[in-house]
Amino acid sequence: MTAFALDPGQEKWCAELRTLAAERFVPLAAAGEPGRVNRPLVAALGEYGLLERLFDAGALDLCLLRESLAYGCTEAETALALQGLGSYPLVQAGTAQQRRRLLPDVVAGRAVAAFALSESGAGSDAAALALKAAPDGPGWRLTGGKCWISNAPDADFYTVFARTTEGAGARGVTAFLVPADRPGLTGSRLDMLSPHPIGTLDFDGVPVGPEDVLGEPDRGFRVAMNTLNLFRPSVGAFAVGMAQAALDATLVHTSRRTAFGGPLKDLQTVAHQVAEMATRTEAARLLVHAAAAACDAGAPGIAKRSAMAKLFATETAQYVVDAAVQLHGARALQRGHLLEHLYREVRAPRIYEGATEVQRTIIAKELYG
């Protein structure tokens, strides 16, 4: 496979995923409660082997998986991605005992994971973490808070990044595995524009020991960045899936809807708008695939490629969904319409896992470096 074309096996797999999303996952998503973890949906992802595939997949397969699910069911895509984001630090840095204890239930869809990095005062500047890990015998006590944490407060365990050395910036952060039932850990839900679960976590002297450390003390920031570098191109894939869904809905609508004596597609201004939507969507897809292929090949410049893919794809999806709403008119803003749903979903990816402005900073730093 090149970065520019999928082989027949990949095309077939993507089509099967889109069908599975529409037929199996959409009803489960519709039955869930917005803002809460949909455990039947997570279990179904495990039942169909997609969570196992998530951890076995290379970067390109991860992107194809996320794009295909996003096209048919954004809730399924998000549930899968959050399992990966919360558990990948365990995969890359956990001990064999930690992985044996937690990963089987994650892969089966029985346990829900969460990635707890952001704080109210440390979002884009992730190295400015204030959650304190104070020494306590052989371990530590966590005190402080986390904010904007996907799957909180419903997750079964959290990958938590806390400051173990004051004044050391990124070099003084440690990653911990923290079960949800650990004493002193509480949380609350946030009512957000997008429908997926997100909340805050409060740590009131939560005990953690050496057996809870992921990797090495004071080396946790690299665990976080390795996770984000893997998932950034696939955030772009999520965006491409939404853009393609909006584009396909627009092609159908503008072919059928009549105005001024003919179908909308016969109006040059409409046809040119759709052409622009399609071109940007394809460009975003190629940039995502190229970044993922480079990641799988171990090519240099992964940080730059990942940032470019995430930046361009999420900005493109915002443009395409907004243009689709405009071409559909008022019907697209009616609660329950596909585009109304996508309009709420498409905004957040431009912020999380590194905002657009952060991606530009990363790209510029890599260029000048």
How large is the average pLDDT for residues 173-183? 97
Residues 128 and 266 in one domain: no
Please check whether residues 206 and 265 belong to one and the same domain. no
Q: How confident is the model at residue 354 (pLDDT cuts 50, 70, 90)?
A: confident
Q: In this structure, are 294 and 160 located in the same domain?
A: no
According to DSSP, the residues that pair with 132 across neighbouring strands are 143, 163
Which residues are registered as beta bridge partners of 5? Answer: 2
Per-residue pLDDT at 128: 84
**Any domain includes 3:** no
Annotated catalytic residue: which of 47, 67, 353, 357? 353
Domain harbouring 65, CATH code: 1.10.540.10
- Whole-angstrom Cα distance, residue 299 to residue 291? 9
According to DSSP, residue 349 is labeled G
- The whole-number average pLDDT for the span 213-236 is 91
Per the document, the length of the chain is 369
* CA–CA distance, 39 with 294 (Å, rounded to integer): 34
Q: Please say if 345 is a catalytic residue.
A: no
- Looking at residue 122, its pLDDT comes to 78
Q: Structural domain tally of the chain?
A: 3
Of 218, 239, 271, which one is at a domain's C-terminal end? 218
pLDDT value of residue 307: 93
Q: What is the pLDDT of residue 109?
A: 97
pTM attached to this predicted model = 0.94
- 246 and 212 in a common domain: no
In a domain, 251, yes or no: yes
| CA 162 centroid distance within chain | 21
Q: What average pLDDT does the segment 157-162 reach? A: 97
Provide mean pLDDT across the span 146-152: 96
Q: Show which of 57, 75, 108 is a domain's final residue.
A: 108
DSSP assigned state of 33: P
Mean pLDDT for the stretch of residues 210-228: 93
CATH code: domain of residue 181? 2.40.110.10
Residues 305 and 249 in one domain: yes
Q: In the predicted model, what is the mean pLDDT of residues 311-323?
A: 98
> Do 240 and 346 belong together in one domain?
yes
CA distances from 59 to 44, 222, 227, 287, 289 (A): 22, 18, 12, 13, 9
Answer yes or no: is 325 within a domain: yes
Task: Tell me if 180 is assigned to some domain.
Answer: yes
Residue 337 φ then ψ, to 5°: -70, 145
Shared domain check, 122 and 77: no
Asked if 63 and 139 sit in the same domain, the reply is no
The answer to the question of residue 255 being in a domain is yes
Q: Are residues 178 and 253 in the same domain?
A: no
Question: In this structure, which amino acid lies at residue 293?
Answer: A
208 and 305 in a single domain? The answer is no
Query: Within a domain: residue 274?
Result: yes
Domain boundary pick from 108, 137, 158: 108
Rounded-to-integer distance, Cα 133 and Cα 141, Å: 5
* CATH number of the domain that residue 244 is part of: 1.20.140.10
Residue 163 lies inside a defined structural domain of this protein: yes
Q: Give Cα 187 distance to the centre of its chain.
A: 21
Domain of residue 290: give its range. Answer: 222-368
Question: What H or E segment, with its residue span, contains residue 98?
Answer: helix 96-108
Q: So what's the pLDDT on residue 1?
A: 46
Report the pLDDT averaged over residues 172-178.
96
Instruction: Encode 66-105: b = buried (16+ Cβ within 10 Å), e = exposed.
Output: bbbbbbbbbbbbbbbbbbbbbbbbbbebbeeebeeebbee
DSSP 38-87: -HHHHHHHHHTTHHHHHHH--HHHHHHHHHHHHHH-HHHHHHHHHHHHHH
193 confidence band (pLDDT: 50, 70, 90): confident
pLDDT of residue 2: 55
| 191 and 250 assigned to the same domain | no
Question: Which band of pLDDT confidence, cut at 50, 70 and 90, is reported for residue 103?
Answer: very high
- Does residue 2 lie in a domain region? no
- Whether residue 55 is found in the same domain as residue 125: no
